[in-house]
Amino acid sequence: MKKRELTISVDVYADCHELETADAQLLDLARKATVDAYAPYSRFRVGAAVRLANGKMLTGTNQENASFPAGICAERVALSAASALYPGIGVTDLAVSFFHEEGKNDRPISPCGICRQTLTEYEIRAGQPIRLILGGSAGEIFVLTSAADLLPFAFTSSEIK
């Protein structure tokens, strides 16, 4: 038997004031996007903002549905918008933030499993990593160099071929 250890590196910032200006701007867009989330059931508003290789930035929000779990996450909304509006242009960075109407909002959240899979496939498709900037409405911020770090055993097209 072999043992394999997996490690990921996460840069932890005390707050947005420690971030590079471009990263702080992207996180600010994600934070502002939470206002537009449609989350009448969970009251957990998520905003995502992507920066494309051409410098354009787009946002997405979670969209719930009375037919739970038929909603869609903010990360996938932002990625879908980027893909539809700018086909063939890679996503370089993605910021995610949230606002819970009935809870604390001062820590980072990370993408769910479906979003992790989707992000990993976007990285493969574009041939480049997507940096993740994860934060709440305030407090600590996590920055990862690649979305694939969140899903080290991703199921990809190579398994299907």
Q: Which residues are catalytic?
A: 75
> How many Cβ atoms sit within 10 Å of the Cβ of residue 114?
13
Q: Please answer whether residues 125 and 158 qualify as being in contact, where contact means their C-beta atoms are separated by less than 8 angstroms.
A: no
d(CA 68, CA 8): 33
d(CA 20, CA 18): 7
d(CA 103, CA 96): 17
Q: Please answer whether residues 95 and 125 qualify as being in contact, where contact means their C-beta atoms are separated by less than 8 angstroms.
A: no
* Preceding peptide of 69 cis, ω within 30°: yes
d(CA 47, CA 99): 9
Residue 87 CA from chain centroid, whole number: 19
